[in-house]
Chain A
């Protein structure tokens, strides 16, 4: 199918009343979760995923719930800037870099200039990324159609190795997170041999006295992705935020009027450089698994500053310092959709939730999506353009409303999130066992989070595990147990080599540092 007519048709379908309404609601929800400190796009989509079944029930397609979640994702990227600028604390990790110059601008009494610059830069970033996505996705999906099990496994390994090589977190802790997520994904039944495994039938068989103490029959259906995702992002992150902010924030007033918005728009050309750097860089960083919008926005800020003539003005309220990260996080969020839609490999925790959603709605993610489900793909891509336009308009029009909502005390927001998490988990599987498990994961995630254990790899791993394991084992069956199959095939070979290099990168770095430290011989 030709791209342009398909895209026009997709946009047309995204403008259908129900889809347009979902775009608007999704964007508003996204702006809200993005703006609320402690909540980001991933919390929003994870907590609301169970509620999308009702959308699927009403519309009868998987497209509408996906449009809704994608709109939340979009809105959240815009929303993060609002609290970064007015509260000085990022609404989401993706908006950390926005505080660097956004907050100084607000303190100078130019909050509305920062807010408008952020909104327009976000719009441009997302638009550039949408065009890239539309151009790159179909050919990439066509190439990916040739992939067999070894290639898919190689891609999975690449996804995990980017966490190790580029993630920037403590390496053994990242490894623990990945391994734990992958092992949790194996609980239930082995789909190849049909054997039950890790069901913890008598969990303490080492101590016979404890037999039958805990009812573990719930493990027979496996550990569902949502149970972990809601636990980590609905409970764990929330408690962590309450602990780290201690509920004390000061808000800068922003006096947003039609005239001040207009004057800020007129000043926007000054921020064009940062916007452009962010738009382009963000997309490509976003494609990389493990990278995504947060490093994308930090990198865009750094690069813009590096190539600027007055570096001193950064950190003191340079509009380019607001535009670059904001353009980049929007662009990166679309970039992260590219491997998710074409290869079935999510580039960020949020896209991992979207991928899990697609499976729940009965779609088979992967390269076949483009050829077999054009009715799903193109309206969704069309909705990217529509949501983006809706987001910039809603954002500019309702800044005062969001500022008002940000005054909602955490002591009201937090219990509501907890209630939503509990109900959402129950509604998804109608099983109290999963709700208890979700709470345990949440508390565990909080305890690990304090010690800098990264949790996003575990969330990605529990989504990718059920794909990675069978592809690996089927490849090994194909090769009679020889691992060379992954290295000798023309596509999987190079991917494996890149993955191995990424895994070794920290080791090489460590060697380099210790060589330099050791005295010359």
Chain B
């Protein structure tokens, strides 16, 4: 937990410096504006476009350093804790659920929403949840069917189908 607290503070500090650097960028169509020209006031007294994000990112940077100081002085609960940041269960869970979600979105890009939901539910219910095949298939089939009628048919929000698009053409004929 202690190491994670420090690492996170460093990551946040670097992220805020990156944001400060990026906030100082002028618009690309006007190369005359130098970096960090837009973070102060212009000649009329009006704050520039980078004013708000730059100074807030600085607040974030200073706060990250404050977190590091608290880490060093051991005043915040995570910096006192000897408990692991994530134990075996947490890592496995994050890997299986987080990884599953990334794969889910990847499948959506490739095979579309409905195939993605079907495969994700089978993965989660059967392999993570250890539910019986009958229950798994029932939920994994009914959910996309319900979603199709709710989104594509009732709300007219056509969810992307990716490679599975041709399979839906007869359904469009029938319902849309």
Contact = CB atoms under 8 A, between A and B. Distances in A.
Given A416-B143, A450-B85, A180 B60 contact: yes
A183 B113 contact: no
B19 interface: yes
Interface in A405-456: 409, 411-412, 414-416, 418-419, 422-423, 426-427, 430, 432, 435-436, 439, 442-443, 446-448, 450-452
B143 A419 contact: yes
A411 B124 CA distance: 7
A182 interface: yes
Interface string B81-107: 000011001100110011001101100
A243 interface: yes
Nearest to B46: A477
B131 A242 contact: no
Contacts of A476: 41, 45-47
A472 interface: yes
A473 B55 CA distance: 13
B130 A197 contact: no
A412 B129 contact: yes
Interface in B1-59: 1, 4-5, 8, 12, 16, 19, 21-23, 25-28, 38, 41, 44-53, 56-57, 59
A218 B109 CA distance: 16
A423 B155 CA distance: 13
Contact of A239 (B66, B97, B117): B97
Nearest to A54: B155
A183 B60 contact: yes
A415 B102 CA distance: 13
A193 to B, nearest CB: 5
B40 to A, nearest CB: 9
A303 interface: no
B129 A190 contact: no
Nearest to B41: A481
A415 B120 contact: yes
Which secondary structure characterizes the binding site on chain A? helix
A192 interface: yes
Provide the main secondary structure of the chain B interface.
helix
Given A193-B49, A411-B128, A422 B108 contact: yes
Nearest to A197: B49
A460 B72 CA distance: 30
Contact of A481 (B46, B90, B113, B130): B46
A186 B154 CA distance: 35
A476 B40 CA distance: 12
Given A197-B49, A239-B98, A473-B46, A170 B155 contact: no
B53 A183 contact: yes
Contacts of A182: 52-53, 56
Given A243-B89, A409-B129, A195 B26 contact: yes
B46 A197 contact: no
Contacts of A482: 45
Contact of A419 (B27, B109, B117): B117
A416 B144 CA distance: 11
B115 interface: no
Contacts of B67: 170, 172-173, 176
Nearest to A453: B8
Given A198-B19, A411-B129, A176 B101 contact: no
A302 interface: no
B167 interface: no
B57 A179 contact: yes
Interface of B: 1, 4-5, 8, 12, 16, 19, 21-23, 25-28, 38, 41, 44-53, 56-57, 59-60, 63-64, 66-67, 70, 76-78, 85-86, 89-90, 93-94, 97-98, 101-102, 104-105, 108-109, 113, 117, 120-121, 124-125, 128-131, 139, 143, 147, 151, 154-155, 157, 159-160
Given A192-B49, A415-B121, A477-B46, 19 more contacts: A175-B66, A179-B60, A186-B23, A195-B27, A195-B38, A196-B28, A197-B53, A242-B93, A411-B129, A414-B97, A415-B125, A419-B121, A423-B151, A427-B159, A435-B108, A447-B8, A451-B8, A452-B77, A473-B52
27 contacts: A170-B76, A172-B63, A172-B70, A173-B63, A176-B12, A176-B60, A179-B16, A179-B59, A180-B60, A182-B52, A186-B53, A192-B46, A195-B26, A197-B50, A198-B53, A411-B130, A419-B143, A422-B104, A423-B159, A426-B159, A427-B155, A432-B109, A435-B108, A450-B86, A451-B4, A451-B85, A479-B45
